[in-house]
Amino acid sequence: MLTSIMKILARKESLSMAQLAHEVGCSVRELENALEQMEHMGYIRTEQFGQSCSSSCSTDRGSSQCVGCGFASSETYTFWVLTERGETLVGSEPK
């Protein structure tokens, strides 16, 4: 399943968790666990795009409202991208 996920991520398409889970043939919960495992192993990393509070704010930015600085944005998106190690595993050229 992990290799299948990496091959899909290598396509660099924007997919929701539900869409990615459907393509892989698993539940969203199973997908979340697999992504966490892959990130821990160094095959993928998360990137956030959009507005977020300042880097000096040490509060967890996992919600739409930052408790630390009060910044609120629903325009932040999380993406999973292959690391060089992940690209090597699926046969993609590192950038």
User: What's the rounded Cα separation, in Å, for the pair 75 and 92?
Assistant: 30
Question: What's the mean pLDDT in 58-70?
Answer: 53
Would you say residue 61 has pLDDT above 50?
no
- Domains plus CATH for the chain? 2-54+64-90 (1.10.10.10)
Q: Output the pLDDT for position 91.
A: 86
Would you say residue 81 has pLDDT above 70?
yes
How far is the CA of 94 from the CAs of 52, 57, 81, 89, in angstroms? 28, 32, 12, 11
pLDDT for 1-13, tens place per residue? 889 999 999 998 8
Max Cα separation, the chain?
43
- Whether the pTM exceeds 0.85: the reply is no
pLDDT for 23-40, tens place per residue? 999 999 999 999 999 999
